[in-house]
């Protein structure tokens, strides 16, 4: 499990042309923050494409990527999948994120939100979004 | 006039009657509609778009109306039942009597978070989760695991001291009483309690845990306390605010109730203690 995670990180790092992962994550957060309260979903695609992730965390595949215009499930401008099932998520005005399974605490990045969801799920599968 | 009481002061019979009415709503299929409604609003209320139930000024009147609707449903089963409130600044441990098997049941077990004691334990047979975020059908809790401490009375007082009800941009980034009480800013009262209980209380389907009603009843009481302390202050915004429920605008899903209609709780119920 940890090796798969490690490999994903390496792939991501190559994609980012060697930029330090920590720096990229921080930069991604800043860019997301810049779109700000009035920015809305449409602006979330684009620069944050670098914030995509695909890894296996505690045995679950978690993926995240920006989406154009927020798609069917609006507003986030970003989608997170847990084993292929969409996790409902939302972006706060300050750039932090919440998900339907952690709706009263904020996470700095979609990846940290996805990992928290895996911890919360304890192996359970998400119910498909209505 | 209905009196809403501190849960810690309920008699054994009052606890039984409350639990009995909740279980009756569940059996009748009426309870889950409240879970669905809450989740529908929590996932559609957004900081940059339309927002009614959460992260907006109408967080307080919306939940006051929602609790009234639930209390009326309980009273359709048992006219003597009223919503109790949980003062988590006072009853702040996992061993407080609110978590007794004779009332809401205890913490979730460590292996899977499943509540195994009390009337809402899955094994008791009357509490299967139908409106849920994942495949698990049993009620879960993790008291005090994701955040160590419930808010203190001093922290609640610091929020009650805030003069302005709410402020632009009328969302989770706002200054003001409402957002500090809701918890997106500052010492964090309401949100933190959801996180402290853990399990389903941390999800958009948080009314799956009956403690939801007792938590929100205390939030509602804190709003009344704030009003008493700041008689010159009122609900904001007054008018003309896009995506936000102004004082005289109706709230979804009822479309017949405005924040102005909800300001005076004594039209509907009183609390057992003065403030």
* pLDDT at B13 exceeding the cut of 60: yes
Q: Decide if B171 contacts A37 (C-beta within 8 A).
A: yes
Q: Which residues of A touch B44 (CB under 8 A)?
A: 74
Pick B173's closest partner by Cβ from A39, A41, A93: A93
Which residue bears the tokens 């997106």? B184
Q: What is the pLDDT of residue A68?
A: 75
Q: Which of A103, A116, A128 to probe by mutation at the B interface, max B CB count within 10 Å?
A: A103
User: Which residue of A lies nearest to B197 if distances are taken between CA atoms?
Assistant: A104
Q: What is the pLDDT of residue A27?
A: 34
Closest Cα of chain A to B194: distance in Å? 7
Q: What is the pLDDT of residue A130?
A: 67
Q: What is the pLDDT of residue A15?
A: 36
Pick B113's closest partner by Cβ from A40, A103, A122: A122
Question: How confident is the prediction along chain A (130 residues), in pLDDT tens digits per residue?
Answer: 333 434 343 343 333 333 333 333 333 333 333 333 333 333 333 335 457 999 999 999 999 999 876 444 555 689 999 999 999 999 999 999 999 999 999 999 999 999 999 999 999 999 987 6
Mean pLDDT along residues B204-227: 98
Pick B172's closest partner by Cβ from A38, A74, A92: A92
Q: Which residues of B touch A39 (CB under 8 A)?
A: 48
Q: Quick one: what percent of chain B has pLDDT higher than 70?
A: 100
Residues of chain A contacting B, Cβ within 8 Å: 37-41, 74-75, 88, 90-94, 100-106, 120-122, 124-127
Pick A40's closest partner by Cβ from B48, B171, B190: B48
Average per-residue pLDDT in chain B? 97
Q: Quick one: what percent of chain B has pLDDT higher than 90?
A: 99
Q: Decide if A85 contacts A101 (C-beta within 8 A).
A: no
3-state SS, residue B242: coil
For residue B182, count other CB atoms closer than 10 A to its CB. 26
Q: What is the pLDDT of residue A128?
A: 87
Size of interface A-B (CB pairs under 8 A): 82
Q: What is the pLDDT of residue B274?
A: 78
Predicted model pTM: 0.88
* pLDDT at B12 exceeding the cut of 80: yes
Q: Which residues of A touch B39 (CB under 8 A)?
A: 100
Question: pLDDT of B31-80, one tens digit each?
Answer: 999 999 999 999 999 999 999 999 999 999 999 999 999 999 999 999 99
Pick A122's closest partner by Cβ from B112, B147, B190: B112
Closest CA to B36 of B190, B253, B273: B253
How far apart are alpha carbons B53 and B42 in whole angstroms?
7
User: Which residue of A lies nearest to B185 if distances are taken between CA atoms?
Assistant: A94
Q: What is the pLDDT of residue A46?
A: 37
Mean pLDDT along residues B8-34: 98
How far apart are alpha carbons B86 and B90 in whole angstroms?
9
Q: What is the pLDDT of residue B275?
A: 76
Q: Which residues of B touch A75 (CB under 8 A)?
A: 46, 48-49
């Amino acid at each position: 499990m940890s090796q798969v995670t490690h490999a994903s990180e390496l792939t991501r790092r190559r994609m980012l042309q060697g930029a330090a992962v920590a720096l990229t994550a921080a930069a991604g957060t800043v860019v997301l923050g810049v779109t700000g309260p009035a920015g809305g979903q449409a602006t979330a695609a684009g620069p944050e494409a670098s914030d995509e992730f695909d890894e296996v965390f505690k045995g679950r595949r978690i993926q995240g990527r920006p989406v154009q215009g927020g798609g069917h499930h609006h507003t986030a401008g970003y989608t997170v999948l847990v084993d292929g099932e969409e996790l409902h998520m939302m972006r706060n005005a300050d750039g932090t994120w919440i998900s339907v399974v952690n709706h009263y605490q904020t996470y700095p990045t979609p990846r940290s939100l996805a990992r928290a969801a895996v911890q919360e799920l304890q192996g359970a599968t998400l119910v498909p979004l209505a | 006039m209905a009196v809403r009481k501190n849960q810690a002061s309920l008699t054994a019979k009052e606890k039984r009657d409350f639990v009995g009415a909740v279980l009756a709503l569940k059996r009748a299929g009426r309870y889950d509609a409240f879970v669905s409604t809450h989740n529908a609003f929590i996932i559609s209320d957004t900081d940059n778009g339309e927002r009614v139930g959460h992260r907006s000024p109408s967080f307080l009147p919306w939940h006051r109306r929602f609790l009234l609707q639930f209390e009326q449903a309980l009273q359709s089963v048992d006219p003597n039942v009223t919503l109790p409130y949980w003062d988590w600044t006072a009853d702040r441990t996992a061993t407080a009597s609110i978590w007794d098997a004779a009332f809401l049941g205890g913490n979730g077990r460590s292996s899977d978070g499943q509540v195994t004691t009390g009337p809402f334990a899955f094994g008791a047979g009357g509490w299967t989760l139908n409106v849920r975020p994942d495949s698990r059908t049993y009620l879960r809790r993790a008291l005090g695991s994701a955040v160590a401490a419930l808010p203190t009375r001093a922290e609640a007082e610091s929020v009650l001291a805030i003069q302005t009800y709410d402020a632009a941009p009328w969302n989770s980034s706002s200054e003001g009483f409402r957002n500090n009480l809701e918890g997106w800013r500052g010492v964090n009262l309401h949100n933190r309690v959801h996180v402290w209980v853990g399990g389903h209380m941390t999800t958009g389907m948080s009314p799956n845990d009956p403690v939801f009603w007792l938590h929100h009843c205390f939030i509602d009481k804190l709003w009344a306390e704030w009003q008493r302390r700041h008689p010159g202050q009122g609900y904001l915004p007054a008018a003309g605010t896009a995506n936000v429920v102004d004082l005289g605008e109706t709230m979804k899903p009822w479309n017949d109730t405005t924040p102005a209609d909800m300001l005076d709780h004594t039209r509907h119920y009183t609390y057992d203690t003065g403030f």
